[in-house]
Chain A
Amino acid sequence: MATVHHHEYDVVIVGAGGAGMRAAIESAPHAKTAVITKLYPTRSHTGAAQGGMAAALANVEEDSWEWHTFDTVKGGDYLVDQDAAEILAREAIDAIIDLENMGLPFNRTPDGKIDQRRFGGHTRDHGKAPVRRACYAADRTGHMILQTLFQNCTKLGVEFYNEFYVLDLVLTEEKGTTRTSGVVAYELSTGDIHVFNATSVVFATGGFGKMFKTTSNAHTLTGDGVGIVWRKGIPLEDMEFFQFHPTGLAGLGILLTEGARGEGAILRNASGERFMERYAPTIKDLAPRDIISRCMVQEVAEGRGAGPNKDYVLLDCTHLGAEVLETKLPDITEFARTYLGVDPVTEPVPVMPTAHYAMGGIPTNTDAQVLLDNTTVIPGLFAAGECACVSVHGSNRLGTNSLLDINVFGKRAGRNAAAYAKKAKRPALPQGTETFVVDLIEKMRTANGSENVAAIRKELQLEMDRNAQVFRTEESLAHAQKIIDGLRKRYDKVGIHDRGERFNTDLLEAIELGFLLDLAEVVVVSARNRKESRGGHMRDDYPDRNDKKYMKHTMAYKKGAKIALDWKPVVITNYPPMERKY
């Protein structure tokens, strides 16, 4: 039987990417804080973000946070909660200054200020023209944010539990109120179980792009945190909205930053035509991601794709010159050379959309508090970053707004978690807190069924690409749901090879697959229910946005083995929904 260890903290943060470490920096000086992470902190996928972080600093041209708010709302196809978007855009400026003061090496203007560049959907004066709003460090802005936050956690002596896999959230009923009393984790290096009794818990566990085959996401992005809260009966919001980033390396899905187009790169079809001129005449290649991805897929579907199978389009950077590529876009230049053998200096790069970012997730209010329904807060439980849905991204996130999101709402989550822990009494853990995880691990470690984890995962990913990607229909989604049902039955009969206690990554992958299957079902069921097209959710059978019926957030609830769907109103302050044209 597994050895069980017990720990007590004021604040426990689950996940050590941008949101988790930003929360830790806020929390650790004020409250006894632990960060529990499945990976070493610097392995988190924040580090893969490239192009920039938006803030209306107006360092290089006129800008205002109000314009940024508007762009965020319009970019999200009006499903954005506008109070949250306003906070995001307003607090962006301090968030950038915080990072710079912590040491982040931003690129600089000739007079030594933080330089800024263009990005999709970010405009001056409510859509008139693209604006330079993205603060950046070459094309490794996410890397620099992750490193800078890790450096500052090191400075503060933040306590990390590296390679600890949180598998359960402990909820306690107190006088009719549901609150949290901690988490239970599995230590990868030993196989031991750790119970963390905590007053506040922050989930910052990232996304779940690995339910798709073609994705920019890391192998480890399997939605563990989102899956855990789902299994505990907490609803998930807007799960049908998944972002497909236009420029993944064709066939591989590796991200090429939108910053390339921000610097002037152009998308072309097989005949060399700059096709975005036809779809978005004002801002062309800098239209938001959902629009560009749809146009790319349409170009290919109508026979204008490039390559021997006419199955991709081309990102043309050749006119940018070697110097811009080497100084402002060095990493993506190297990715194209390494993985496709294509030199962007002299040849256009084959690209197609790649599953990139979950707009939906764990519902929170603007204080990063997790919601049990449309309004009820779970005291002590917080979420921030990609795993959360505030909702600042609505149905489509603008590029550079996620690095911003993790900083603004990570900071809020950390601050509020520490403040709550200071005033509230730490709840006692219920009896047998660890039993669920001990049993889950033991069951999986000894699983000797005939089904193979990798085979099930591969089929899930293939079918999600085929049926729930850029274009969806009732038929494709119904098919996906049936497939997932079948895969879940097979999952009940999996077997694993590794019976060991130490670094059992075979066991780890089996558990991760369980979360992916759960969440894929929520994505598909939510998508079937939204019979309109909005932002990242494009229904071929319902091609128009339908504000009358669907200007509201989806709320999915786990009811036994079934999923129940409800709605939540969108917060509208200054911007009444309008047709979205660029």
Chain B
Amino acid sequence: MPELGVVHSFTVTFIVRRFNPETDQEPYWQDFDVEMYSTDRVLDGLHKIKWEQDGSLSFRRSCAHGICGSDAMRINGRNRLACKTLIKDLDITKPVYVEAIKGLPLEKDLIVDMEPFFAAYREVQPFLQSTSKPDKENIQSPEQRARFDDTTKCILCAACTTSCPVFWTDGQYFGPAAIVAAHRFIFDSRDEASQVRLDILNSKEGVWRCRTTFNCTEACPRGIEITKAISEVKQATISGVRR
């Protein structure tokens, strides 16, 4: 329980990777000192910089509580959502390093081009395919529903995909998030196109590129067991889908 009403503020140094495509050849690091409270989040720090020191600092954000997926960034070398990273959970005796997620084209400061990420998502046919046309709901048991629960939590923030070393070195790999999206439908008892998705993911740039480094699972702000989901998809390409 934070001591509401009791105020202890302190100075945190943020070192932010800046890049303005209109003026800079290369990205560079810039320091900012910010007054923070322990219950503040990294996003609050970025806002204080933008609102009080340098309005040109550019980043995406919206909901500010970890559900919209706008503000994935590299914080002290790890992919996290800025709005879910509390100052009290960082070692503030050292500076906090913030930079854009890796592996997608850098646009400006902390903003990357998300289009390749969404293109991979679209590739796996991330939508229910079913020929049954009931007047009512499809029947699905709680157990069948639970089978794919974990992968329905994905907010498409790209923290997983851009933490994956295979994705960094090979822009062709679908990446963890697209496999998560496929998993969500492959293991849905109502879906009839699992084999299509498995064939897509069994291709050269598919699940077999995964080296099981668990970076994706560690990066996921929704706590999805991504590496496990990828393994289940690998298994299904060999021995079929068990729902």
Contact B70 A39 (CB under 8 A): yes
Q: Is A281 located at the chain interface by the 8 A CB criterion?
A: no
What residues of chain B lie closer than 8 Å to A505, measured between beta carbons?
50, 58-59
Greatest chain A CB density within 10 A among B3, B51, B52, B84 is at: B51
Known A311-B4, A497-B56: A105·B20 in contact at CB below 8 Å: no
Q: How many residues on B have C-beta within 8 angstroms of the other chain's C-beta atoms?
A: 68
What residues of chain A lie closer than 8 Å to B133, measured between beta carbons?
101
> Closest B-chain residue to A137, C-beta based?
B152
A247-258, CB under 8 A of B: which get 1 and which 0?
000110010000
Known A154-B127, A502-B21: A114·B137 in contact at CB below 8 Å: yes
What residues of chain A lie closer than 8 Å to B92, measured between beta carbons?
none
Report the bound CA distance from A331 to B149 in whole Å: 13
What does DSSP make chain B's interface, helix, strand, loop or mixed? loop
What residues of chain A lie closer than 8 Å to B111, measured between beta carbons?
503
What residues of chain B lie closer than 8 Å to A44, measured between beta carbons?
68
Contact A501 B128 (CB under 8 A): no
Q: Is A107 located at the chain interface by the 8 A CB criterion?
A: yes
Q: Is B122 located at the chain interface by the 8 A CB criterion?
A: yes
Contact A152 B145 (CB under 8 A): no
Contact B156 A350 (CB under 8 A): no
Contact B62 A105 (CB under 8 A): no
Q: Is A176 located at the chain interface by the 8 A CB criterion?
A: no
How far apart are A513's CB and chain B's nearest CB, in angstroms?
11
What residues of chain A lie closer than 8 Å to B156, measured between beta carbons?
40, 42
Greatest chain A CB density within 10 A among B23, B133, B145 is at: B145
B104-127, CB under 8 A of A: which get 1 and which 0?
000111010010001001100111
Contact B152 A105 (CB under 8 A): yes
Q: Is A155 located at the chain interface by the 8 A CB criterion?
A: yes
> Closest A-chain residue to B156, C-beta based?
A42
Report the bound CA distance from A163 to B111 in whole Å: 12
Q: CB < 8 Å: which of A40, A254, A308, A500 contacts B4?
A: A308
Q: Is B174 located at the chain interface by the 8 A CB criterion?
A: no
Contact B4 A97 (CB under 8 A): no
Contact B145 A107 (CB under 8 A): yes
Contact B63 A47 (CB under 8 A): yes
What residues of chain B lie closer than 8 Å to A340, measured between beta carbons?
1-2
Contact A500 B56 (CB under 8 A): yes
Contact A105 B188 (CB under 8 A): yes
Report the bound CA distance from A506 to B56 in whole Å: 6
Q: Which of B126-171 touch A at CB < 8 Å?
A: 126-128, 130, 133-142, 144-145, 148-149, 152-156
What residues of chain A lie closer than 8 Å to B114, measured between beta carbons?
40
Q: Is A110 located at the chain interface by the 8 A CB criterion?
A: yes
Contact B127 A42 (CB under 8 A): no
What residues of chain B lie closer than 8 Å to A137, measured between beta carbons?
152
Contact B56 A101 (CB under 8 A): no
How far apart are A142's CB and chain B's nearest CB, in angstroms?
8
Contact B127 A454 (CB under 8 A): no
Q: Which of B39-98 touch A at CB < 8 Å?
A: 39, 50-52, 54-56, 58-70, 84, 86
How far apart are B73's CB and chain A's nearest CB, in angstroms?
15
Contact B127 A155 (CB under 8 A): yes
Q: Chain A contact residues (Cβ within 8 angstroms of B): what range?
A: 35 or more
Q: CB < 8 Å: which of B70, B148, B154, B188 contacts A43?
A: B70
Q: Is A431 located at the chain interface by the 8 A CB criterion?
A: no
Q: Is A511 located at the chain interface by the 8 A CB criterion?
A: no
Contact A331 B67 (CB under 8 A): yes
Q: CB < 8 Å: which of B68, B121, B148 contacts A218?
A: B68
Contact A47 B127 (CB under 8 A): no
Contact A47 B155 (CB under 8 A): yes
Q: Is B26 located at the chain interface by the 8 A CB criterion?
A: no
How far apart are B50's CB and chain A's nearest CB, in angstroms?
7
Contact A97 B136 (CB under 8 A): yes
What residues of chain B lie closer than 8 Å to A43, measured between beta carbons?
60, 62-63, 68-70
Greatest chain B CB density within 10 A among A106, A152, A505 is at: A505
Report the bound CA distance from A506 to B51 in whole Å: 9
How far apart are A461's CB and chain B's nearest CB, in angstroms?
12
Contact B107 A189 (CB under 8 A): yes
What residues of chain A lie closer than 8 Å to B188, measured between beta carbons?
103, 105
Report the bound CA distance from A189 to B60 in whole Å: 12
Known A113-B139, A501-B22: A506·B67 in contact at CB below 8 Å: no
Q: Is B6 located at the chain interface by the 8 A CB criterion?
A: yes
Contact B50 A506 (CB under 8 A): yes
What residues of chain A lie closer than 8 Å to B127, measured between beta carbons?
102-103, 151-152, 154-155
A328-359, CB under 8 A of B: which get 1 and which 0?
00010001001111100001001000000000
What residues of chain B lie closer than 8 Å to A109, measured between beta carbons?
142
Contact A219 B107 (CB under 8 A): no
Contact B148 A105 (CB under 8 A): yes
What residues of chain A lie closer than 8 Å to B154, measured between beta carbons?
147
Contact A307 B126 (CB under 8 A): no
Q: Is A309 located at the chain interface by the 8 A CB criterion?
A: yes
Q: Is B190 located at the chain interface by the 8 A CB criterion?
A: yes
> Closest A-chain residue to B70, C-beta based?
A43
How far apart are B18's CB and chain A's nearest CB, in angstroms?
12
Greatest chain A CB density within 10 A among B39, B63, B114 is at: B63
Contact A48 B128 (CB under 8 A): no
Contact A113 B137 (CB under 8 A): yes
Contact A498 B4 (CB under 8 A): no
What residues of chain A lie closer than 8 Å to B66, measured between beta carbons?
335, 338
What residues of chain A lie closer than 8 Å to B68, measured between beta carbons?
39, 42-45, 47-48, 218
Contact A347 B1 (CB under 8 A): yes
Q: Is A108 located at the chain interface by the 8 A CB criterion?
A: yes
Report the bound CA distance from A498 to B149 in whole Å: 43
Contact B107 A502 (CB under 8 A): yes
Q: Is A496 located at the chain interface by the 8 A CB criterion?
A: yes
Report the bound CA distance from A111 to B142 in whole Å: 8
What residues of chain A lie closer than 8 Å to B130, measured between beta carbons?
101
Q: Is A112 located at the chain interface by the 8 A CB criterion?
A: yes
Report the bound CA distance from A113 to B138 in whole Å: 8
Known A47-B68, A151-B127, A152-B127: A498·B55 in contact at CB below 8 Å: yes
> Closest A-chain residue to B136, C-beta based?
A97
What residues of chain A lie closer than 8 Å to B69, measured between beta carbons?
42-43
How far apart are A312's CB and chain B's nearest CB, in angstroms?
8
Report the bound CA distance from A335 to B41 in whole Å: 13
A selection of 16 A-B contacts at a CB cut-off of 8 Å is A42-B156, A48-B63, A101-B137, A103-B190, A107-B142, A108-B142, A111-B139, A112-B140, A143-B153, A147-B152, A151-B128, A250-B4, A339-B86, A341-B1, A497-B56, A501-B22
Q: Which 6 A-B pairs have the closest CB atoms?
A: A103-B128, A497-B55, A454-B51, A498-B56, A112-B139, A506-B55
- 9 new A-B contacts, CB < 8 A, other than A154-B121, A503-B107, are A43-B69, A97-B135, A97-B136, A105-B148, A114-B137, A254-B65, A453-B55, A504-B58, A506-B50
Question: Interface residues, chain B, CB within 8 Å of chain A?
Answer: 1-6, 20-23, 39, 50-52, 54-56, 58-70, 84, 86, 107-109, 111, 114, 118, 121-122, 125-128, 130, 133-142, 144-145, 148-149, 152-156, 185, 188, 190-191
